[in-house]
Amino acid sequence: MIDQSAYLDQPYILNVQAAAAGLRPGELRLVDVLHDDDCPKLRGGHCRCAPIVRPMTRQERRADRKGRGA
């Protein structure tokens, strides 16, 4: 479980936890958290934006990265 103090500084943590809801033991779910370009979190600060939280399976992540040329 995540430290309760994380909720105060990083409010998107609740969205990350929601993305993991319903996982079976041993199931893997990758989560992309896409912050705004000017979000302080990208420079080691506290998140002040409303990031997009995208849960993905390993196959979806591979297809997404291939589509972006990464």
Q: 8-40, pLDDT tens digit by residue?
A: 668 788 888 888 787 888 887 888 889 999 999
Q: 45-70, pLDDT tens digit by residue?
A: 888 888 998 888 788 878 887 877 65
Q: pTM here? A: 0.65
- Residue 22 tokens read as 């319903």
Q: Are 41 and 47 in contact (CB under 8 A)?
A: yes
pLDDT the model gives residue 39 = 92
Would you give the end-to-end CA distance of the chain in angstroms?
A: 32
Domain ranges of the chain: 5-67
pLDDT the model gives residue 64 = 80
Q: What is the distance between the alpha carbons of residues 48 and 27, in angstroms, rounded to a whole number?
A: 31
